[in-house]
Amino acid sequence: MNTSVPSWVGKVEEVNAMGFNRIARSTADPLLLYIGAPWCPPCKTMEPAFAAAAEAMGTKARFLKVNAATDPQLLDSLKVAAVPMLLMYDEQGQEVGRLLGLLSAPRIAQWAQKRLDSARQ
């Protein structure tokens, strides 16, 4: 039995559009994508909360972050018009939720877990 923990557990991986697409196509892990921008005050507040939620959720979801200011084509393809935005994907890569706005770490984890639970029913 392999009990090794993936390197992404408890961390936020900053990716660009190519990195997100590669991970989304190649993983069977749920993904929580955070889209923010350095010029966005609510995003600056939410970044540490997103990192804390990643740590709290452990292996339940892989946490990815994209900079809206540098990846406008990805935002267009995902139909994201405002930030901060969370997009939740299940194990099959299907979007199971999206949320616009600022959340605390416990609320991010709670929101993500509810989306995953609903997707599995």
Mean pLDDT of 22-34: 93
Phi, psi of 35 (to 5 degrees): -115, 120
Mean pLDDT of 5-22: 92
Q: How many Cβ atoms sit within 10 Å of the Cβ of residue 33? A: 23
Residues listed for the chain: 121
CA 109 vs CA 44, 73, 103: distances in Å: 18, 27, 10
Query: Is residue 3 over pLDDT 70?
Result: no
30: confidence class by pLDDT, cuts 50, 70, 90: very high
pLDDT, tens only, 46-103? 999 999 999 999 999 999 999 999 988 899 999 999 999 999 999 988 999 999 999 9
- Alpha-carbon distance 6 to 121, whole Å? 26
CA angle at 117 for the pair 112 and 121, rounded to the nearest 5° = 150
